[in-house]
Each structure stands twice: as structure tokens, then as C-alpha cells.
Structure 1
Amino acid sequence: MTDWTHHLGATRIDERTLTFDTPTPARQALDTTTLSPLIHLGILEVAGADAERFLQGQASAQIDLVRDGFAPLTCFCSPKGRMLANAQVARVGDERFWLILDASLTSSLKQHLDKFAVFYKVEMTHRDDIAMIGLTGADAPALLEARLDIEPPGLWYGRAKDDIQVLRHPGPRPRLLLCLPDSLAIPTWEKLSLQAKPVGNAVWRLHDIQAGLAWLDVSQQDTYLPQMLNWEALGGISFKKGCYTGQEVVARAHFRGQVKKRLVRAQLEGDVIPAKGTSVEDANGKSRGEVLTAELDAYGQVEILAVMTTRDSDTPLSVAGQRFKTLKLPYPIERLDPETLAEPSQ
């Protein structure tokens, strides 16, 4: 593995965050096309003659739909239905899949899946030789086509050309995730940066928040049912497939309406980013939920995703002394079957 990001002129804040000497980076993402090194993401490759059958028994996605570019969300659960990891799954070969997820979870997910892999002809590899670049903005699709000669895919679809895999993600602006070998990262970055402004990967994470899309990290695994992250509303659960680990609990929670916590999007009246797990408190100081992820927005205020009780709470709510204002999610809280998303016209 080589750290291609050393050549970008970025400052590494920690192992998960890079920043550039760019004033108000989130504001830049409103006004122009931006380019981000997505060092907080990782890839676990699952390959072999039994790769599809193996994943079908472990993932919440209908794996036989993952073809013709369709690259849906999925998750992997404990027998009690708690999420061990959530991911995007893409087919990158006849017998080869990539699971794109938070980088802190690649090792633990592999360790979990290893318990079942011994019964299949399958190999799993942490692909730390693959770089990931985020391209965001109204002109991002046109820039991808003009500079790399790749036609932009539709939402939750991917397209590949040569060694570059491009996936489309939701957000307030068009977002494209590029996966490519480390050896191609710098020349590709240089081509795109002619018309895109480099910004830190916190901007990509902010757009995840604004899309109502929460990615677990290693500190949050084995805690939440998938529905607590609105995963069925994002097309991340197939209720039409057969069994997978945790399936009975996930299905029972859905059909019996037993989901007592939900993902909520909110803004805080302040600029102090709370740590993950910080309580959302009501007017009486009682915890009503906890912060999953938080970033500064274009106006210097904090936006968060939090898992909250569905019961009414005494208002006002606050996080670490900052007033909590609920924002609208960009999707309805209702079941979205991934089967309806898997349309070959994308």
C-alpha cells in the first residue's frame, strides 16, 4: 500500500480526515465542483466461485440483483439483528464483489464473515491498494465524462472503464465515488483538479448527513437494528429474499412495527462538533438518543445524524449545550424494496 494522498498538499488531521488550505470548504461545495480523498472509506473484496451464494446468506441485499451496474446498500447483522457493518455492494467481476464501508470496519467484518467462509469457495481481501476519490457538484457528471470519458451512472449504480469504477451516491449535489488503483490516483486527481476544487473529506461526510445516510464505524457496531438507521427506507434491506444472519429479527421488527428508535437529521445552534455517542437530551436532561455523526455545514453550524426514540420528548432538545433543531430527511420513512431500484435502464 502506498499513501498517494501525500502528494496532494493536504494536511492529515487524523487517520480518518484530510483537509486542504481552503476557506469554508463546505461553502465551496455549494458554489463549485469539489474533489475529496475519501480516506475514511475502505473496501473488502469477496471473490471466488461461491462469492454470490456466500454473500446471499449474510447480506441484507438480494445479491443476484447486483449486476448490470446495480450497486445497492446492504448490511451485515449479528444473530440478534444488530448491524455489524453497513456497506455498498458492487459486482466488479464474474465472481468478485466489493463491499465499500467505513475503513475501521473492514477487519472486523472480515473476521465475522470468516466464521462462515470456511464452508464456501471464497476469499476475502482488504483492498488497501484501491484509492477512493469523491467528486461532488452540479458539474461533476459532465466533468467525469469530459476528463475521464466515463458516462455517469444513475443513483446506486456504477460504471467501470479500464481500472476505474464509478458509483453514484445521493446528496444535495450530484456525487460520484471513484475507486481506482493507487497507481492511477495522482494522474486522475490531476485531470479532475483542473476544473474541481480540492476539499477535505469532511465535506463528503457532510453530504452523507444531508442525504440522511449514516455509515457505522467500529465503535458503533452491534448496537442498532438496520431500521434504526432507516436502512429499509434507503433500499438497503430486501424483504423478499431468503434467510441471512439476523434476518428473522430484522423481519419481525418490520412486520410487527417494533422499531422504537429512528435516524433523525438535525442542526445544532453552535459550531462545536459533538463526539459520536454524545447524548441528545430533553428539557429535563434525559437522554432521548445519541449522535451518530456530525460535521460543520456551509454556514459554520453543526449538522448531525442521531438515533432517537420515536416517543415524544420534552422540548427543547440539546446536544452538549447546543440547541437541537430537527431537519427534514430527503426521503420518506417507508419501505423501499431494492428490487424496484434494480432497473437495467440505469
Structure 2
Amino acid sequence: MNSEWQTFLQQQQATLEANQVINFGDVEQERQAVGAGTVIADLSHLGLIAASGGDAETFLQGQLTNDIQQVTPQQSQLTAYCNPKGRMLASMRLFRREDRYLLSLPQTVLEPSLKRLRMFVLRSDVSLDDASDELARFGLAGSDAEKLLGAQLPSLPGTVDEVVHHADLTVIRIPGPQARFEIHGSASALSTLWQALLPGATPVGYAAWSWLDTVAGVPTVVPETVETFVPQMANLHSLGGISFTKGCYTGQEVVARMHYLGKLKRRMYRAHTDIDVPPPPGEAIYNADTGTESSAGKVVLALPAPQGGVDLLAVLQISSVEAGPLHLGQPDGPELNLLDLPYEVTNEA
């Protein structure tokens, strides 16, 4: 975490652990605010990989699932990094700032992703660096987010994935039922903006912010789920995170085969369960009729819900969903109640 930004967060009464904000002192208030109000959250749990050099675009085009040529200073995208078998090593948001590409992904998978990417640079004119401490970043979301941010900046991104730049600030609109923004910049610029937004926004920890990803149906790959899901299993095709026309990249053969020749047998669902402690990513989910011999799927992301209980994203066998009730952890575990996603997903890959 940027040291100047860390000092600012501590002055705001943030509780920090492992370079991420756990809360700002009132967990219950934060949980209620993220469900019904406007919230502001440090995003230091997300790291940044910077790619620069004359061959940066060509290099990334051969590594990631989306069409890098569509990324401009005004347009970001969701994308994924896969192994040769088409299983995701990381999911990320890619955007441009100045003369560099920046890959935003969980800090917990940044180092292995960076190490692996560097293996394929060879003689290309590409530099790959951990830029997490160079910039600070926070998120703003909720019913008044657009109004609050618009009062401080001359213009805002109007559609999901759009980017605007103002002096030292980069503002990205990201998916969500209500307006949701990521803001990247220097610690001093972000500190000033944070304080200007505070009267109308409740500061929350990273878990409250991550709950908004479950509402938006946006998957996150963490160490427990690395090399577990093909991108389509996590609905990345429905989120515009895969290009099927860009040509070759690592894992492309498997991803393309599923798209052109296959039919999805697994996809990501959103669900709620009445428990107090969220299950870890990778936790098995069962259909009561199939027993423990084979699971119906796995948890992708699970967070405390504002209304109580836990909301989660899970990759599940479509046939198991159609067969009947699903249970967490074991065949007679807590039952899952499926919720709507904010986008359409077809079973056709």
C-alpha cells in the first residue's frame, strides 16, 4: 500500500490488516450502508501490474482473453489470464493511464501472475512491474455516487467500462445495479477527493465493497480458485470479458472450442444462504440427491449480506441446479436460494 495513502486512511480511523482496510469502526453500519446508501472504499486489496514498452499491446494480446486493441485511454475492459488448458489464473480489469497498460487484480494473485507473465516476455520490448504502491485507489458506489462525484469533477464516464481522466485522476465506471466507480491517482489527489465526498458517502471496508461484486455478478479469481474455472464458467463471456475474434492467446484453443463446439455444463449463479460466516472460495456445493461423491459446484466469492446471512457467487452444474435444492459444504448443509443476476446468461457457450 502507498505509504502516504496508508497514513491518510489511518487518519480516517481505518482498521488495516495485510494492507487492506477491514473496516472504519462500525461493521454493522457499513454493512447496512452498502445495501441502502452510498459508500466509499479503499481498493488497496486490488494490486496493479503495469505493462509498458513498444511491444506491450502485442504481448498482452497474446496472453489475455479479451481484445487488447479495444483498450484506449477512454475504454477499459474485463479480461482473464489463463493457463494452456483454458483455466483462469487471474481475472482483472485492464485500462490505460498515460503510456502504460494497468492490470487491476487481487493482491493475493498478483505476484504469481506477474512472475508467470514475465516468463513469456523473452526478447519483446515489454516491461512488467508491480505498480501497486505507485497509485492509490478507491471506489464509490450507490444511489448518490454519480451526483456526489459529478459535483467534484467536470465529467464522468457514462457507461460501464468507460474511462475519463482529470489531471492526476483516472475514473472508471464498473458494473453494478447502481452507479459504481473506481478512481486511481496520487495519494494527495485521492485524499482531497475522498474528503470532499465524505459528507455524502459512508466509508466501508473491502468486504463490504466486494459484496457489490456479488450483486454485479463479477467473478474474482483468488488463490483457492486459481486454475479452477474456464472463463465461460464464470460468465465472463456475458460480461464482455472474452473476444472470440482476436486470434491466439494462451488457453484460446480450449476457450474457443467451448464457444464454437460445446454447450455450457457449468455457469456462475448468484445465491443467498442463511449463515453467519461466509464460506471460503472453493467451498464445495452439493445437490442433496447426488451425495458427496461429486459436487455440484464451487463457491467463487461469498460475503456478508446487508439483510443478514451471506450472498455468494458460485459456479454450478446447470443440471444440478435444475434437479433441485443445493446445499453448501455437504449434502445436508445450509440450503442455497438462487438470486437473479443483472445480466442474461444463456447455456449456449
Q: Tell me the TM-score normalised to structure 2 length.
A: 0.90
In structure 2, which of residues 123, 128, 152 is the aligned counterpart of residue 124 of structure 1?
Answer: 128
Deviation at residue 210 of structure 1 after TM alignment: 0.8
Matched letter for residue 66 of structure 2: A
- SS of 2:221's partner is coil
Aligned pair 1:254/2:262, yes or no? no
- 2:74–2:164 contact (8 Å) kept in structure 1: yes
Matched letter for residue 181 of structure 2: L
- 1:24–1:298 contact (8 Å) kept in structure 2: no
- Alignment match, 1:113: 117
Deviation at residue 192 of structure 1 after TM alignment: 1.4
- 1:163–1:180 contact (8 Å) kept in structure 2: yes
- Alignment match, 1:165: 170
Query: Which whole-Å CA distance do the structure 1 matches of 2:226 and 2:235 have between them?
Result: 16
- Alignment match, 2:328: 319
Deviation at residue 256 of structure 1 after TM alignment: 1.3
- Alignment match, 1:291: 299
Aligned pair 1:11/2:15, yes or no? yes
- Alignment match, 2:226: 221
In structure 2, which of residues 51, 54, 57 is the aligned counterpart of residue 52 of structure 1?
Answer: 57
- Which consecutive residues of structure 2, in runs of 5 or more, have no partner in the other structure? none
Percent identical across equivalent pairs? 35
Aligned pair 1:282/2:287, yes or no? yes
- 1:145–1:152 contact (8 Å) kept in structure 2: no
- SS of 2:194's partner is helix
In structure 1, which of residues 176, 184, 187 is the aligned counterpart of residue 189 of structure 2?
Answer: 184
| CA RMSD after TM alignment | 1.9
In structure 1, which of residues 48, 63, 77 is the aligned counterpart of residue 68 of structure 2?
Answer: 63
Structure 1 pair 194/213, CA: closer, same or farther in 2 (3 Å)? same
In structure 2, which of residues 289, 293, 315 is the aligned counterpart of residue 307 of structure 1?
Answer: 315
- SS of 1:311's partner is helix
- 2:15–2:23 contact (8 Å) kept in structure 1: yes
Q: Show CA shifts across 1:199-229 (max 9, x none).
A: 2222221110011111111232122111111
Q: Tell me the TM-score normalised to structure 1 length.
A: 0.91
Deviation at residue 13 of structure 1 after TM alignment: 5.2
- Which consecutive residues of structure 1, in runs of 5 or more, have no partner in the other structure? 337-346
Structure 1 pair 275/16, CA: closer, same or farther in 2 (3 Å)? farther
Query: Which whole-Å CA distance do the structure 1 matches of 2:167 and 2:62 have between them?
Result: 31
- Alignment match, 1:145: 150
Matched letter for residue 328 of structure 2: V
Matched letter for residue 339 of structure 2: L
Query: Which whole-Å CA distance do the structure 2 matches of 1:246 and 1:281 have between them?
Result: 29
Matched letter for residue 277 of structure 2: V
Q: Show CA shifts across 1:135-193 (max 9, x none).
A: 01121112112123342342111111111111111112210111112333322221111
Q: Show CA shifts across 1:238-258 (max 9, x none).
A: 001111111111100111125
Query: Which whole-Å CA distance do the structure 1 matches of 2:281 and 2:222 have between them?
Result: 10
- SS of 2:200's partner is coil
